[in-house]
A and B are shown apart, each in its own frame.
Chain A
Amino acid sequence: MTIESNVLLEARGLTRVYHRGSEKIQAVDGVSLTIRRGEFVSFMGPSGSGKTTLVNLLGCLDNPSAGELDIAGRNIFGGGKILGERDLTRVRRELFGYIFQNFYLIPTLTVRENVALPLAFYRKPGVETEVERLLAMLGMEHRMEHLPEQISGGEMQRVAIARALVNRPEILLADEPTGNLDSKRSGEIGEILKDLNRNAGLTIVMVSHNPELARLGGRLVEMRDGQAYET
């Protein structure tokens, strides 16, 4: 296998401009980068430097103002085309799993149901057993029938991770996944992500304030004023 074919995601001059009244905010300013299959990339940088905006573009949650993005050999953004909600959804459910600072579990559903929820909308073949497998792997098998309010924050994020992975995504996108957790839980989530990357070969794109966590991945990218610097 050549290095070339191992490229999973390639961004060229990605730019996102927000308009706030007459003011233009260049939240992401011409970022070009390549992410290979199996990489664990961390983005660090001060608040407001454009980390979230960038990973949202990489994760197809938003359209760029300019620039191009290829994922798994497919051109997603480029040539000025704007993808509608449905097209974005199709790309997302095929390729991505997401976790955020807030866990966004559905409070009326049990842990098991929360993890199974994505399958109600879209189901890749052969993922039926993933719910149990992932929850067991994340040490949550004894909490399957609990409601989100009955488990701790660290456990909630594990459930969110299981939910993000249930459809076997190519890339896990994590925006400050430990932002709401204490340092002990934070470390545990870090270990889980590292394991998933090492053992399951999952590609991870993570944003984190926490230098320790950010260093877990092999690759660290600094964001400043909407621009990305490899370190």
Chain B
Amino acid sequence: MITPFQVAYKNLLRKKVRTLLTLVGITLSTWVLVSLFGFNRGYEKALNRDIENMGYQLMVMAKGCPYEAATMMLQGGTGLRYMDQSMVNDIIKEAEVDKITPILMQAFFDPNKGESGGIAGYFGVDPATYPAMKPFFRFRSGGWFHDNSAPEVVMGYEAAELEQREVGDMTLVPEKNVQLKVVGILERTGTQDDGTIFVPLKTLQRIAGIDKITTIGIKVKKDADITKLENKLYQLKDVQVVSFSQVKQTIMKLISTARVMVLSIAIVAILIAMAGVVNTVLMSVLERLQEIGILKTMGAMPGDIFRLVWTETLILCSIGGIAGIGFAFLFARATDLLMRRILPYAPSGGLVAIDGKLALLTLGSIITTGLLSGLYPAWKAGRVRPLESIRRDG
């Protein structure tokens, strides 16, 4: 026995190219839509995780542009100004401060890195206070330095990979020609820390010939008023305060502008795809007026014809929607890379987070929109009078 559903899908096979083009339209717009929604959620999640993994909520550094500074910090930046280490002792007195750690960032030019040399970033950290900021660090092998002036390094996962170092090996600080011993290699964290080389603060100060620091990381007490502490820190001379919640807000604001643009593109794409659906289904109705008339002489009610044509829309939108979601899943990595190239700042980890719920939600909205666009052709087909259509070809 034949069902109306079979009649509908066999009809779509009649004009294969037209059907295919319509499907491509729906697929592409679904793909864009899912990826966009996925990005919307993924980006914020990734950003939160990045900030969480900083270990501290506030950063104090010598004056400069705060956004630039924050970006540099997140990316393992270079070229910052210096401040006195005694600042640490002033800040620690504040009631809101839970933990505090001084950091010296240094960058040396390594002629052997990459094609034409590159910058190697070093973090001078205090083994007494820094590890407490990053309790989630796991060592693949080895452990932290023995003391604050030991000639040792701890390497991030990727830094060790890149230089092919194991615990016990020596590594050379470029530009300065100082040999240091690798005592620990971290597990992958999925953050900027993976590419960082950690050196005891005093050791790095000695190598660089500087007795200052670039940054102070501050962990605020639970339930303490961050804003109040921020305001107090602003009173300190020649420093700027970077609050990661502010950084996050700024970045999210930048992103949302980009997002509105992409969303409008997606909506236009969907409108075009839906116009394609209306066109395809309407054409196929107009081409089949006689067939539809004959179906009516066979006993098909206007509602039967309506459903038959509507089913065609449903088939198109379901297949196109599912394919689009499939592509979105399949090419999530590629979308990720693309977004990274477009965006001003991209946190590490997956930017595009698509899950079953989001996929179903998008599929639901595509099918709903599709069914709405199918209303008119289906209604038109339902109204075909058997006689007129049969008479039409005499």
Contacts and interface: CB of A to CB of B under 8 A. Distances in A.
Interface of A: 52, 56, 61-62, 85-86, 89, 92-93, 96, 98, 100, 102, 104, 106-109, 113, 116-122, 128, 163, 167
Contacts of A128: 1
Given A61-B387, A106-B7, A117-B7, A86 B14 contact: no
Interface in B1-54: 1-4, 6-7, 10-11, 13-14
Contacts of B179: none
B7 A120 contact: yes
Nearest to A160: B294
Interface stretch (B165-173, B205-213, B225-233, B297-305): B297-305
A118 B295 CA distance: 7
B297 A92 contact: yes
B10 to A, nearest CB: 4
Nearest to A106: B291
Contacts of A62: 387
Given A85-B385, A113-B2, A100 B301 contact: no
A120 B385 contact: no
Contact of A118 (B6, B290, B298, B387): B298
Given A121-B299, A121-B301, A109 B294 contact: no
B296 interface: yes
Given A93-B298, A117-B298, A100 B7 contact: no
Contacts of A107: 14
Interface of B: 1-4, 6-7, 10-11, 13-14, 290-291, 293-302, 304, 383, 385-387, 390-391, 393
Contacts of A89: 296, 299-302
Contacts of B1: 116, 119-120, 128
A93 B300 CA distance: 8
A49 B144 CA distance: 106
Contact of A92 (B6, B11, B299, B302): B299
Contact of B14 (A93, A108, A116, A117): A108
Residue picked from B7, B293, B299, B385, most chain A C-beta under 10 Å? B299
Given A61-B297, A121-B298, A104 B290 contact: yes
B14 to A, nearest CB: 5
A163 B302 contact: no
B18 to A, nearest CB: 14
A120 B2 CA distance: 6
Contacts of B300: 89, 121-122
A93 B297 CA distance: 7
B11 A117 contact: no
Given A119-B1, A120-B4, A104 B301 contact: no
B291 A100 contact: no
Contacts of B295: 117, 121
A165 B108 CA distance: 91
B2 A116 contact: yes
A52 B391 CA distance: 10
Nearest to B391: A52
A92 B297 CA distance: 7
B8 to A, nearest CB: 10
Nearest to B290: A104
16 contacts: A61-B386, A85-B296, A85-B301, A86-B302, A89-B299, A92-B299, A96-B297, A104-B293, A104-B390, A106-B7, A113-B6, A117-B295, A119-B1, A119-B2, A120-B3, A121-B300
A108 B10 contact: yes
Nearest to B4: A120
B299 A56 contact: no
Nearest to A122: B299
A89 B393 CA distance: 22
Given A106-B291, A120-B2, 7 more contacts: A89-B296, A92-B299, A104-B290, A108-B14, A117-B295, A118-B298, A122-B299
Contacts of A163: 298
A93 B387 contact: no
B301 A98 contact: no
A102 to B, nearest CB: 7
Residue picked from B3, B6, B298, B304, most chain A C-beta under 10 Å? B298
A61 B13 CA distance: 31
Contacts of A118: 298-299
A143 B303 CA distance: 32
Contacts of A93: 298-299
Given A92-B299, A118-B298, A104 B2 contact: no
A78 to B, nearest CB: 20
A99 to B, nearest CB: 10
A86 B302 CA distance: 7
B281 to A, nearest CB: 15
A119 B2 CA distance: 8
A184 to B, nearest CB: 24
A5 B207 CA distance: 118
A106 to B, nearest CB: 6
Contacts of B14: 107-108
B356 to A, nearest CB: 34
A109 B297 CA distance: 18
Q: Which 5 pairs show the lowest CB-CB distances between chains A and B?
A: A93-B299, A122-B299, A118-B298, A108-B10, A104-B294
A107 B290 CA distance: 12
A52 B296 CA distance: 18
Given A61-B297, A98-B297, A116-B2, A104 B291 contact: yes
A121 B297 CA distance: 11
Residue picked from A116, A117, A119, A163, most chain B C-beta under 10 Å? A117
